[in-house]
Structure 1
Amino acid sequence: MKRTMEFVIDVYLIFLILFFSIKKKFHIIVNIFNYFVLAFLLSSYFSIIGVNLGAFKIEGDMKLEILFRLYELIFEPLICIGYLNLFCSVKSKLKKIVLSVFVFFIFWAAEFLFVQLGVITFINWNYQKTLISLFGILLTTYFCQQWFRSILKKEGIQT
């Protein structure tokens, strides 16, 4: 259990370092806006699915709960923000498709890891439903980002 937590925290730290070391296409204000939108959408999603629908449960250990909440509020939004920055900077359709498949593979692998390590247990839920939901969350965030960028352009801030 302790070794598992250390491994997952190491992965989190590696992704944090990668996120802050890559060049961002969007202005810092747009990235902060994206983070708030994603944090709201993802925490609402996991609360509705986990608590209201009872589709999965987090095992009783408080350390596992903290690990999952770190994933929900830090890891996943930062991956999404990095994805949106890279997606809009890539010109080729093939590269966009490969990038999208890679990001959804990361989400699937993280969830698979949580299930295999016993952090979460699915109850009448599966990976496909989560990936479809995450696609909807990313799409909603993308449209919110475009709306916010248009407001910033009207105000004279170059994004």
Structure 2
Amino acid sequence: MMKLVGSFLLRSTAGLFGYFIIWPISFFAFEQAFLLSVLYALVGGGSVFFAVKGVQRGIDIKRSGLKVGEYRYITKNLKEAKKKISRLQKVLFRIRNFRDARQNLLLMQTVRKIYTNTKKEPERFYKAERFYYKNLDSLVEIAEKYTYLLAAACKKR
């Protein structure tokens, strides 16, 4: 999380620096209108922001030792896994039994730890591939069916 904040602050600082360099150059040196020079500065600052973002992403890919295609594949799968994990969390928090809640908490901690480690080190994705493709789907499906059956049993009482 800290890395994300630091990266964003670096990009924002570079973008603002680009803005404050481009505006006076376009306004004073090229004698553009005020609003036009502001527009140029905004476009320039945004360009610097996204250029720095691209460089940071390239550094992350290079540091992980993966190819660009592999990195995209892993990030796409991690986005899907995040949706599944949030679905699992919603389902598990519907269960009100104390004994089950404790087990569910341990389960969610384990799932989050696997996800976090894979997000930090994308090259580990292939070691946890079975978890993402098989176990996580099964966990979500079983938890949804369990809560459905639990809710149906409570209605009968």
TM range, smaller chain: 0.3 to 0.5
Which fold has the larger relative contact order, with Cα–Cα distance below 8 Å and residues 6 or more apart in sequence? 1
Q: Calculate the TM-score normalised by the size of structure 1.
A: 0.34
